[in-house]
Structure formats: structure tokens, C-alpha cells
Amino acid sequence: MIDDEDSPDEDWSFLPLFYEFSESAATAMTGIIGNIEHFDNNEETWNSYIELFVECNGIANGKKVSTLLTVIGPKTYNLLRDLCTPDKPNQKTYDEIVKIVQDHLYPKPNLIAERYKFSQRNQREHETVAQYVAVLKNLSVHCEFGSNLNDYLRDRLVSGIRSESTKQKLLSEVDLTFDKAVKIISAIEAAEVNAASLAHNGGGILQGGRVQRLGVGVHGNGGGGSRGGSATSASTSTATSPQQQRFQRQGHSNFNKCSVSVKCYCCG
């Protein structure tokens, strides 16, 4: 057990301050929606924590500082106390506290570097349009595009998509907006997925851009549908015409039995 007389005063210097606002904070937290955990920089951003803290609970302005200092936890409070020195955290306004922590944890990035990363980001292989759009929006956070954000997103989306045919489609659109571009790309993407699924699961096999049905004979024997027909003496005779020679080169055995009702692409 620690002897109070031997303990340095500074080790306990924050306790009076803590008790000073803890009572009012407890009153303010009555009726708090959800369970507000201590802030953990490894789990969430400071902005998202503050949004949850304020937006969901509608805490009165007079109670924001005391409530925030209570719920952020000892680790963040000690950090804030160091950053506020020589002042005390409870001497700062709510907005000042939020900015002090924000500036320390997330220094403002270089604007040119952020815009360069945004301008170089193209859609990657197997990346859906929804995933690509989400990445672009995230990269634009520190680009300071302001009211022109959607124009920059549209331009980067059109330039960065992988499909050249879709890109040409977008470039042909008049008065193309970001939302309209997303809808067009999403529709084309969905159509391609459905077409690929039908080609894989349907009644045929897609080969060279043509669907060939299974189980259908090319040549008939009197309309019977069996490939190649029955062997006759004609299959052993010497081909004298160019058409017969072509027929035999294709591996067919009976020139005379080729169905005349269907055009044969082997015989010509």
C-alpha cells in the first residue's frame, strides 16, 4: 500500500480536477444512448468518437466539457492534460479540446501529396465500382476540394475505371454527373456479371463468341441427327472434286450423306 506522506504531490494532482467535474458529468450522462467506451486510437478515429458522443446524445453545451473529460478514459485524459499545460483541460472550451486532440493525433497532411495520391488511384483488378468509389471518397478527405468534390470524383472515376468500353460510354454522355456515372457503371457491371453467369450455367458453352449447344449433331443420316452418318463405299472412294477433298480434310467420312437441308460449314 502506498504511503500518502511519501507520495509526490504531482502523482495525485489530477484527482481534485477529476472530482471537480465528475459529479456534473454523472448528471449529464443520465439518459446517455448506448455505451460510450474510453477512446482508443487503435479502434476508431477521434472524429468518429466525437460524432458518436455528441450526435447520438444531444448533450447540452454546458455539460459537454465535463462529460467528455469523464468518458475519454485516463490514457486520453493524461495526454490532453500534457497538451494543455500550463492550463488545465477543464479550462478549455469543448471545441478547443476537440481541436487539441485532433491536431496531435492527426497532423494535417500535405495537400499536394494527398491530391497526387487521389489523381493516381485507378480501379484495380477484381475491384467493384462500389469499392472503387469508396476508396476515392476516402482519398478525397484531405484534398480540400470543397464544393467541387463531386466534379473531381466524377473525373477520377471516368479516368480510372478499367473497362475501356464503359469509359467510352461515359465520355459520350452529355452533362455527366458523379451520381449518373456511378449508376451507369454499376448497371454495366451488373449486366456483365449476369451474362457471365448465364453463359456458365445455361444450355451451351461459350466458345469464340458463339454458343454451341451440346448433344446436337451437325450432320444427319436421313435426318437422324447422328454425326457422320453410316459408313458407305463413298467414304473409301477417291475424292475427285475440290469440295470432296475439303470434306475429307475436315475428317468427315461420307460426303454423300451430308444433310442438304442444313448448310454445312465444313463442306462449304
Structural domain range at position 227? 214-268
User: Are 60 and 33 in the same domain?
Assistant: yes
SS3 category, 210: strand
User: Are 219 and 186 in the same domain?
Assistant: no
pLDDT at residue 228, as a whole number: 46
pLDDT at residue 54, as a whole number: 67
As a whole number of angstroms, the distance between CA 138 and CA 118 comes to: 9
pLDDT at residue 248, as a whole number: 61
Please identify every stretch of the chain with a pLDDT value under 70, giving residue numbers as ranges. Answer: 1-36, 54-57, 202-268
pLDDT at residue 183, as a whole number: 96
Residue 38's contacts (CB-CB under 8 Å, 6 or more residues apart) are: 71, 72, 73, 74, 75, 76
One-letter amino acid of 97: I
Does residue 222 belong to any structural domain of this protein? yes
Does residue 198 belong to any structural domain of this protein? no
Does residue 221 belong to any structural domain of this protein? yes
Q: 66: closest CA among 31, 21, 98, 23?
A: 21
Using alpha carbons, list the distances in angstroms from residue 262 to 92, 213, 228. 90, 16, 14
One-letter amino acid of 101: V
pLDDT, tens digit, 9 for 90 and up, residues 162-186? 999 999 999 999 999 999 999 999 9
User: Are 228 and 150 in the same domain?
Assistant: no
Does residue 200 belong to any structural domain of this protein? no
pLDDT at residue 241, as a whole number: 64
Average pLDDT over the chain, rounded to an integer: 75
As a whole number of angstroms, the distance between CA 19 and CA 23 comes to: 7
Partners of 88 in beta bridges: none
The three grid cell numbers given for residue 147, joined into one nine-digit string: 464544393
As a whole number of angstroms, the distance between CA 198 and CA 221 comes to: 33
Report if pTM > 0.85.
no
C-beta separation of 184 from 169 below 8 A: yes
Q: 107: closest CA among 65, 53, 46?
A: 46
Does residue 259 belong to any structural domain of this protein? yes
Distance of CA 233 to the CA centre of its chain: 67
Omega of the bond leading into 86 within 30 degrees of 0 (cis): yes
As a whole number of angstroms, the distance between CA 94 and CA 63 comes to: 9
C-beta separation of 71 from 29 below 8 A: yes
What is the radius of gyration, based on Cα positions, of the chain? Answer: 37
Total domain count, the chain: 3
pLDDT at residue 214, as a whole number: 46
Does residue 203 belong to any structural domain of this protein? no
Does residue 75 belong to any structural domain of this protein? yes
